Amino acid sequence: MSVRTDAFLLRERKALRKKRLRNIRPASFFVLPGLILACVFVLYPMFFNIRISFSNYQIVQRNIIFTGLDNYIALFTERGDRLFLAMRNNFLYAVVTTPFIILFGLLFAVMVNSLKRGGVFFRTCFYLPVITSWVIVGNVFAYMFNAGQAGLMNYLLKDVLGLLPAYVPWLQRTWTANLVIWLLGIWKNIGWSMIIYLAGLQGISNDLYEASSIEGANKFQQFWKITFPLLKSTTFYVLVNMVIGAFNVFIQVYMLTGGNPRGTTSVLQYLLYDKAFNLFEFGQGAAIGMITAILILVTTVVLNKVFRTEGGKAE
Amino acid sequence: MKKLFSLLLALAMLISLCAAAGAEGVTTITFWHTYGDQETPILDEVLIPMFEAANPDIKVDAVRQSGDFNQMVVTALGTGVVPDIARVDITKTSAYAKLGGIIAMDELDGFAALKDAVLEGPLSTNVWNGHYYGLPLNTNCKAAVINLEQMKALGFDGAPATMEEFIAACKEKAPGEFKLNVSGVGDWDLYPYFWLFGGVLTDEGFTKASGYLDSEASVNAIKAILQMHDDGVFTIRDVDGTPDAWDGINSQYAMFFEGPWYPFSEGIVPAQIPTYNGITASVVGGENIVIFEGSKNKEAAFRFLQFMLSEEAQLELLKVGVIPTLKSLVENEAVTADPKWSVYMKQLESAKSRIPTPQASTVEQLWSDAMNMIFLEGADVQETLTNTAAEIDIELAK
């Protein structure tokens, strides 16, 4: 009896395995290309980067000599606290720019959405900065915030409006330079945030507004009690994207300050670039990549804990 | 029909065989460069045909790179797909040498002659670890850019001969008006002033900064620059927020130091940098020519290098403003007859190179940090230079 049962079970298992294989085969046809590409261009470089971060990587000789935590120790104990300054600036960038991007993105989205005519025109206008080249706008900002009379801002604020007692060397001072970097980031990302909010607004039923109108709610109450709560998952999406984006800031710093003065406007990605391509410290560059990844991971987990409820929706 | 087809096929095979036979024995070398719009046609249409005619066994594939050239070279070194030969920035040569990406040329047949033929300042930028890893292909330096009208107002007919008289005239006739300008506090900007006022960066072998950068002479040099700044003679754009030199020289400044790319005009002319305590000084810029370790055609690449350092090639490029590096051309008529080139070639004789080290970026950063502390934050000169010298020592020892 038991022998017959075992044979039956074996047959059943075989049949099940065959069925699974039959299902996997057509699916693998679609999955494999993407999987191979992900392995080649994402997973392999990622693991290679982890390996380099613990090594002395001699790029020409292709030697990867294991050095343990040396690269990390070198970064954390470096003179001038370059790593800490870069991390500080990344966090400040996230803290300063994200609220403005969310606020103005939402504001413009609500305004554009309420337009009966010209919506496409304004949507395009607000979105233009997003698709404009970073290099071009970087140069424009460098001109606008040029030191001395040649800078547009200095000319306006001192010569025209008389608000400044002297010309400001915007990009040569730590906090004015950081301010310019933040401004560029805010200006460049509001359009993206607006588009995401516009998509979110399309999902809110008109019935809610009609019903609230009948109940006597005014526009502000409608926004505060209907629009804003129903856009919370959209806000969470924008928030996470902007915070992660804050750790990838590079071109603004590269174009405007080069991390100067004394690394006080540098950010992690610029420091990585500087270590790898100017100082040829590839191990330290890879280590900065790892540190960035860990920071992004931790920040995302914290954001998830703070802003998400059990149902998976933003509170 | 079949016969005709066979005949055509045979003919095609014969042609391809002939072509293969023709290609055999011809070595193709790849030359990476960043020549500009004016220089590239000279390279492609004049120099390379000239070289290939004289060397029928070598074909040059010149590739003009754009964007971040250093990044391109590093990526090429990482992937192993390198050119045979390249024109690279002088500040990067020792770094590529340390990486093992380019070859030491000392032992190459014909190198000694080339080494003796080129100007010593630009040549020194090729030294690393006691070996020469390249040769100066073209050079430049800073000279004085003079506003003749402003100088006249200060009482000079043309360029002042000495800094002492220039400073005195500024203090007397234009107090606080900043008649001398520099853009920033980086090495390219401030080294000429530092050297002019008697400062010393390192020992001659570029191995140690302590005892040199923090010496009495160097401290006095920085103090002299500070004094000029405090006296309202000398302004640093990035520190004071004053107009850029290129704008200000038209109406406000009497002088600034700049490379030969400044668009001189009738009223704004080049001149030797005025002497201080009897010496003049400048900083060397330009590009070196290097051969890559990964090249399979090093001998052919070196022949091309020799050609690029020949008088005829250097004179062709001078036509579009590329300053030659050959000593023999300093007194050449093409140079002496030109008011601009004669000034720059003469100034080159007193021009020094920045510290040729693989850690050049860090050293530059250390210098800029120190100058920022002194000029922006009012840090003590002696203390700052002593600390910076110690930090540069560490970098030079790497």
Q: Is A133 on the interface with B (CB under 8 A)?
A: no
Q: Which CATH entry fits the domain spanning A72-307: 3.40.47.10, 1.10.3720.10, 3.90.1150.10, 3.30.1330.180?
A: 1.10.3720.10
Dihedral of the alpha carbons of A237, A242, A248, A254, in degrees to the nearest 10:
150
Residues near A150 by beta carbon (within 8 Å), at least 6 away in sequence = A143, B243, B244, B247
Chain A residue closest in CA terms to B100: A60
Residue A278 and residue B361: Cβ atoms within 8 Å? yes
Higher pLDDT, A1 or B366: B366
Q: Where does B25-139+285-352 sit in CATH, by number?
A: 3.40.190.10
For chain A, domain boundaries:
2-53, 72-307
- Nearest Cα neighbor of A258 from A277, A281, A280 is A277
Question: Got the DSSP string for A156-188?
Answer: IIIIIS---SS---GGGSHHHHHHHHHHHHHHH
Residue B239 and residue A149: Cβ atoms within 8 Å? no
B13 has pLDDT over 70: no
pLDDT tens across B156-175, in order? 999 999 999 999 999 999 99
Confidence band of A109 (pLDDT split at 50, 70, 90): very high
> What CATH topology corresponds to B143-272+359-397?
D-Maltodextrin-Binding Protein; domain 2 (3.40.190)
Q: Is B240 on the interface with A (CB under 8 A)?
A: yes
Q: What's residue B5's pLDDT?
A: 53
Q: Is B391 on the interface with A (CB under 8 A)?
A: yes
A132 has pLDDT over 50: yes
Residue A251: count of CB within 10 angstroms of its CB:
17
Q: Is B238 on the interface with A (CB under 8 A)?
A: yes
pLDDT tens across A196-246, in order? 999 999 888 888 988 998 988 888 888 888 988 999 989 999 999 999 999
Residue B238 and residue A150: Cβ atoms within 8 Å? no
The residue of B99, B182, B384 whose CB has the most chain A CBs within 10 angstroms, and thus the best one to mutate to test that interface, is B99
Q: What's residue B107's pLDDT?
A: 83
Q: Is A169 on the interface with B (CB under 8 A)?
A: yes
Q: What's residue B18's pLDDT?
A: 45
**% of chain B residues with pLDDT over 70:** 94
Of residues B70, B71, B293, nearest to A60 (C-beta): B293
Q: Is A154 on the interface with B (CB under 8 A)?
A: yes
The reply to whether ipTM tops 0.90 is no
The residue of B70, B77, B240 whose CB has the most chain A CBs within 10 angstroms, and thus the best one to mutate to test that interface, is B240
Alpha carbons B64 and B38: distance in angstroms, whole number: 12
Q: What's residue B11's pLDDT?
A: 59
Alpha carbons B106 and B125: distance in angstroms, whole number: 14
A277 has pLDDT over 90: no
Of residues B241, B358, B368, nearest to A168 (C-beta): B241
For chain B, domain boundaries:
25-139+285-352, 143-272+359-397
pLDDT tens across B141-153, in order? 999 999 999 999 9
Chain B residue closest in CA terms to A79: B391
User: What is the pTM for the complete model shown?
Assistant: 0.79
Residues near A116 by beta carbon (within 8 Å), at least 6 away in sequence = none
Chain A residue closest in CA terms to B357: A279
Alpha carbons B281 and B351: distance in angstroms, whole number: 6
Confidence band of B16 (pLDDT split at 50, 70, 90): very low
Average pLDDT taken over every residue of chain B = 89
Q: What is the mean pLDDT of residues A175-192?
A: 94
Residue B238 and residue A168: Cβ atoms within 8 Å? no
Residue B358 and residue A280: Cβ atoms within 8 Å? yes
Using an 8 Å Cβ cutoff, are B213 and B159 in contact? no
Using an 8 Å Cβ cutoff, are B166 and B274 in contact? yes
Q: What is the mean pLDDT of residues A304-312?
A: 67
Residues near A68 by beta carbon (within 8 Å), at least 6 away in sequence = A54
Q: What's residue B382's pLDDT?
A: 97
Q: What's residue B3's pLDDT?
A: 58
Q: What's residue B131's pLDDT?
A: 92
**B25-139+285-352 shares its CATH topology with B143-272+359-397:** yes
Q: What's residue A311's pLDDT?
A: 46
Q: Is A153 on the interface with B (CB under 8 A)?
A: no
pLDDT tens across B223-242, in order? 999 999 999 999 998 788 78
**% of chain A residues with pLDDT over 90:** 51
Between the alpha carbon of residue A304 and those of residues A88, A106, A235, B187, B211, the distances in Å are 22, 21, 12, 47, 56
Residue B244 and residue A150: Cβ atoms within 8 Å? yes
pLDDT tens across B178-226, in order? 999 998 899 999 999 999 999 999 998 888 999 999 999 999 999 999 9
